[in-house]
A and B are shown apart, each in its own frame.
Chain A
Amino acid sequence: MEIEFAAAEGWLHNVWLLIAVPLVSAAILLLLGKRADKWGHWLGAGSVGVTFVLALTFFFQLRGMDEREGVELSLFEYLPVAGLKVDFGLLYDPLAAIFTLLITGVGFLIHVYAVGYMSHDPGRRRFFGFFNLFVAAMLLLVLGNNFVMLYIGWEGVGLASYLLISFYFDRPAAATAGKKAFLINRVGDAGFAIAIFLMFATLGTTQYDEVFNGVGQLTGATVTAMGLLLLLGACGKSGQFPLHTWLPDAMEGPTPVSALIHAATMVTAGVYLIARSHPVFDASETAQAVVVTIGAITLLIGCIIGCAKDDIKRVLAYSTVSQIGYMFLAVGLGGAAYALGLIHLLAHGFFKAGLFLGAGSVMHGMQDQTDIRRFGGLAKHMRITWITFLLGYLAIIGLPPLSGFFSKDPIIHSAFERHGWSGWVLGSVALIGAGLTAFYMTRLYVLTFHGKPRWTEGQHPHESPPVMTIPLILLAVGSVAAGGLMATSVPGWLEPVLGEHEEHHARLSEWTVTAMTMAVVILGAGLGFALFRRGTALQEQPAGPLVTAARRNLYFDTLNEVVFELPGKLLTRALVFLDNRGIDGVVNGLAATVGGGSGRLRRAQTGFVRSYALSILGGAVLVVAAMMAVTLS
């Protein structure tokens, strides 16, 4: 299948505005400084609102076109170096379109919410500056028409994420979490960068269409290597096993950040990357197998750790890890499941953002308490938060007809349909995951909103202001409706990008899978309800090895310490030794030589005109002699 993009025409010529508007707003906010303190947050939210409206117009424009393969817009040559030509070009196709809508739509709601959430924070303007920067970078990420643009956006969102995680940089935990996110992401980014180098080395281009059309000429090993390196990048950004440990720590940032960056948009960039480069993965069986394996492992890890955490944001963070595991699983399955993964991504964008904002609303009313053991009975005091959270909760566990049902069920079904024994394993894992999700989400929900209050003294829970609750309501509406709407429309919409795929379900019928899932979900939810209906102990209780392990994040941090940090430290020490004795010796020697030479030469600069004139005369004699020598030789 030859991929070709038309040049952008008409209104679509202005797609660059999507990136420019938030970028300009970010620049204004960050450059004007204190002068923008009074109105900066409205500018920040407004610019994303404008971007959303623009995104809508572009979307309808694209929808009205006959050929929806996508339009390209080349703004200027970015890197014209011999052989390598990278344009600063944009590609607006159905895939980019839905991402743009998600980023700007959900982004706008969260921006509005943040106006209220950050109202008492002295750094609110700075926050909105970074937030706008993030939106601009994320839009560049999804709108680029080559892998280098994607990479620039990728690093841009990484930067914004780092800045926002360590937004409260005076808290050591936040600063450390920021550094951790940054460092772990470097590992993934290195993989991604090497993948781009590989593309350039083998195909001589990084344009999407040229790369995808050229994949067929490459050897299997090259394609697999390319796929695995891209996957490494995706794992880093999306918090997938084994690079998932930074994501829960990233919750040190303000809650709107957790909602937008670390739940709804940035962490799904990995899924976007795999879906975008699907021809690469389609061409490599091995790469696809690794993707599904990682997805399956991650979704299980996320669920298990999520069950044992007591911090409302960390539970949601592990839930994010696990849900993205589902998406990876889906895009790894390939074929029709690409669309399923993306539907889940969109649906997840709504309900997880809603859940995070709900958690933020709870924290707002509970003086920044995050321990769910210290909540309880909040339903009466925070009606809107309660109902919207309830809807989000029901959506994530996949209760029909809410959106999670339409997005998660088909993934489980597709997992079962994978050929060979692996289908059974993957399907079972996805099914167990669904049950565990229902369990820990029920635990979270019940402990927070029902039962007796277990508040610390002096707490007066209250509902948040409308500027926060209205986005909650809108996101809840999205959580309810999005799944059903998208399950029917999105696969068709994405067909120009992902190709047509027959759905053939041979192994299990749709009803069987739905019934099994429902059973598991009800079991998990029921268990959760039964166990935590009456609240929970206020302190951590001694528990069996599995729970302890889950509380310690399944020892992944320890594993990282042993596997990476310890050898790293030893390597550093060895290198420092080598550096001090060997390289520094040479370098210092060289430096001393240069310095000494410089000092000696400097004495030739006497300040006397006569010696200068002599030097010029000497130079002239040499030049003339050299000319003669060259000529006569």
Chain B
Amino acid sequence: MTTDIAAETLKLPSLDYAALAPMLILFGVGCVGVLVEAIAPKKARFPVQLVLAVLGIAASLTAIVLAAGTEKVTAAGAVAVDGPGLFLQGSIAVLGLVALLLISERSLERGGAFVAQAAVTANSEADRDQATRGSGATEVYPLIIFSLGGMMLFAAANDLLTMFVALEVFSLPLYLLCAMARRRRLLSQEAALKYFLLGAFASAFFLFGIALVYGYAGRVDFAGIHAAVLDSPNDIALLYIGLAMVAIGLLFKAALAPFHVWTPDVYQGAPTPVTALMAACTKVAAFGGLLRVLYVAFERSQWDYRPVLGAIAVLTMLVGAVLAVTQTDIKRLLAYSSIANAGYVLVGVLAISKAGLASSLFYLVAYGFSVLAAFGIVTLVRDADGEATHLSRWAGLGRRSPLYATLFTFLLLAFAGIPLTSGFTAKFGVFAAAIEADQTWLVIAGVITSAIIAFPYLRVVVMMWLSEPGESTPAVSLPGALTAAAVTIGAAATLLLGIVPQPLLDMTENAAHFVR
């Protein structure tokens, strides 16, 4: 091979910058954020980073809105900009912005929810010192921005390699963020390490899957895979094992059983605002990727993967619901709730229809808002040692602070899928889509597990309202403006999407068409 051949065959990719702008803006802002860390004086970093991050996400959101209606594959087939892609990117931006509010809160605890230096030995003298006095690291902002950018790319990736890169881009910052809790340092570091090790493990599956699929199809882009499925002369076993392994990587990120094992530990150990970010945005991105892989690349083998993924959906709903029953920590409870909810989204995904796509998109947004508000309230219930997450500490909260207990009750009812909350509309949508697609068995499992998981939710409600506040019931801290705003937005969206879901339903309906 000589350079001459390269000169002849090398075709430069055409780049549609308008369509790529949402991601480019975020990555650019992330780089600027790193520079700010390098250059700006310590005191100025927090405000500068906050403003930069908010403006960056807002600019990205604007670019998404401007790109609305675009339907094309760009960057040499690496990125697809279409209805679902833009909708998911928009959801990630909006939910990320709300999560950013929680992350930036600094009035609940001096210096915010993050520690200054995560690498200091836990429980050492220096660590105790920085837990009480140090101002939190502002590196979280570039990390979050990179992560959000990665998620957006993940939702729009149109070949498996881009998808893998995007997966790593959004995962690596999350691993770091998990390790940065100001309190309970050991738990936080343990969570980060677990997430990292298992994430790497799952990535390996994903990568191996890509290799096998490439072996079958000879292509990694989705259109190419679509064309090759069932038609390629290669051994079909390669395709199925490859698909299974690619799916495993995605199922891990979406926290579906039996690949959910990391979720409770990580959700519990990570700083609560980061948990909120993961529960809302990561879920959107992971399902965005899963949707694209299943709907675009492997649509023609749906009859083969549907029963397997259906079994996983049932298992996920069951595991999430049943294990939620015996949880004693509110963050773990919400983690299992998020697992069960991932199962419900998968039910919608498995309809493999326009309705299934639209209802899954709606579900992701509705759940994202509710879970952000729920974790926002968790950050408020605290005592001198930080958040009081043990359920026994929540007993009688209704007496101490009726407003937040009411809000939390409302959100739990939304998770349980009670009418007039977004949870009902969302569940209704995915179940209806599944029934339409003759997947009634999934709906039956969904309804049964909904009944089971209502029990732990109601247990919390009963605990908050019907128990007397004990010595150990902490008062709820007065939220700063940012947390208050985040909780308000989340709860209001939960209510609005329950009462007037139509605009968003229309939006998902219009968006529900993948470009191939």
CB-defined interface of B453-489 with A at 8 Å, one 1/0 digit per residue?
0010000000000000000000000000000000000
Which chain A positions have C-beta within 8 A of B264? 605
Which residues of B from 235 to 266 have beta carbons under 8 Å from A? 236-237, 240-241, 243-245, 247-248, 252, 257-259, 261-262, 264-265
State whether A615 and B205 are in contact (beta carbons under 8 Å apart), knowing that A609-B194, A627-B304, A628-B237 are contacts in the complex.
no
> Which of B155-163, B221-229, B306-314, B386-394 is near enough to bind chain A?
B306-314
What would 10 more interface pairs be, CB under 8 Å, given A623-B248, A626-B307? A76-B502, A77-B502, A595-B325, A605-B323, A612-B261, A615-B258, A615-B261, A616-B261, A623-B308, A627-B305
Cross-chain contact of B201 among A605, A616, A631 (Cβ < 8 A): A616
State whether A624 and B455 are in contact (beta carbons under 8 Å apart), knowing that A619-B258, A630-B304 are contacts in the complex.
no
- CB-based contact B432/A82 at 8 Å: yes
Which chain B positions have C-beta within 8 A of A618? 258
Q: How many angstroms from the CA of A77 to the CA of B198 in the assembled complex?
A: 46
- Taking the complex as formed, is B14 at the interface, i.e. its CB lies under 8 A from any CB of chain A? no
Q: How many angstroms from the CA of A296 to the CA of B312 in the assembled complex?
A: 65
CB-defined interface of B407-418 with A at 8 Å, one 1/0 digit per residue?
000000000000
State whether A628 and B197 are in contact (beta carbons under 8 Å apart), knowing that A80-B502, A612-B262, A616-B259 are contacts in the complex.
no
Which chain A positions have C-beta within 8 A of B455? 591, 594
Which chain A positions have C-beta within 8 A of B205? 620
Which chain B positions have C-beta within 8 A of A82? 432
State whether A627 and B243 are in contact (beta carbons under 8 Å apart), knowing that A76-B500, A616-B198 are contacts in the complex.
yes
Q: How many angstroms from the CA of A617 to the CA of B205 in the assembled complex?
A: 9
- Taking the complex as formed, is A599 at the interface, i.e. its CB lies under 8 A from any CB of chain B? yes
- CB-based contact B258/A624 at 8 Å: no
22 pairs across A/B with beta carbons < 8 Å?
A: A76-B500, A591-B455, A594-B322, A595-B325, A598-B322, A599-B326, A601-B323, A607-B265, A609-B194, A612-B198, A615-B261, A616-B201, A616-B202, A616-B258, A623-B244, A623-B308, A626-B307, A627-B240, A627-B243, A627-B244, A627-B304, A627-B308
Q: Number of A residues contacting the other chain (C-beta, 8 Å)?
A: 30
- CB-based contact B240/A631 at 8 Å: yes
Distance of B182 from chain A, by nearest CB (Å): 22
- Taking the complex as formed, is B319 at the interface, i.e. its CB lies under 8 A from any CB of chain A? yes
Q: How many angstroms from the CA of A620 to the CA of B265 in the assembled complex?
A: 21
- CB-based contact A619/B259 at 8 Å: yes
- CB-based contact A601/B322 at 8 Å: yes
- Taking the complex as formed, is B452 at the interface, i.e. its CB lies under 8 A from any CB of chain A? yes
Cross-chain contact of A631 among B247, B304, B311 (Cβ < 8 A): B304
- Taking the complex as formed, is B58 at the interface, i.e. its CB lies under 8 A from any CB of chain A? no
- CB-based contact B252/A616 at 8 Å: yes
Distance of A595 from chain B, by nearest CB (Å): 6
- Taking the complex as formed, is A65 at the interface, i.e. its CB lies under 8 A from any CB of chain B? no
> Which residue from chain A places its CB closest to the CB of B505 in the assembled complex?
A80
Which chain B positions have C-beta within 8 A of A80? 502
- Taking the complex as formed, is A537 at the interface, i.e. its CB lies under 8 A from any CB of chain B? no
- CB-based contact B240/A628 at 8 Å: yes
Output the residue of A602, A619, A628 with the most chain B CB within 10 A. A619
- CB-based contact B197/A609 at 8 Å: yes
- Taking the complex as formed, is A597 at the interface, i.e. its CB lies under 8 A from any CB of chain B? yes
Cross-chain contact of B308 among A602, A607, A626 (Cβ < 8 A): A626
- CB-based contact B194/A628 at 8 Å: no
- Taking the complex as formed, is A613 at the interface, i.e. its CB lies under 8 A from any CB of chain B? yes
Cross-chain contact of B241 among A605, A613, A627 (Cβ < 8 A): A627
State whether A598 and B323 are in contact (beta carbons under 8 Å apart), knowing that A613-B197, A616-B252, A624-B244 are contacts in the complex.
yes
CB-defined interface of B258-276 with A at 8 Å, one 1/0 digit per residue?
1101101100000000000
Distance of A101 from chain B, by nearest CB (Å): 30
Cross-chain contact of A620 among B245, B262, B307, B452 (Cβ < 8 A): B245
Q: How many angstroms from the CA of A602 to the CA of B452 in the assembled complex?
A: 16
- Taking the complex as formed, is B193 at the interface, i.e. its CB lies under 8 A from any CB of chain A? yes
Which chain A positions have C-beta within 8 A of B323? 598, 601-602, 605
CB-defined interface of B323-337 with A at 8 Å, one 1/0 digit per residue?
111100000000000
Which chain A positions have C-beta within 8 A of B259? 616, 619
Q: How many angstroms from the CA of A605 to the CA of B311 in the assembled complex?
A: 21
Which chain B positions have C-beta within 8 A of A605? 261, 264-265, 323
Which chain B positions have C-beta within 8 A of A607? 265
Output the residue of A80, A609, A615, A623 with the most chain B CB within 10 A. A623
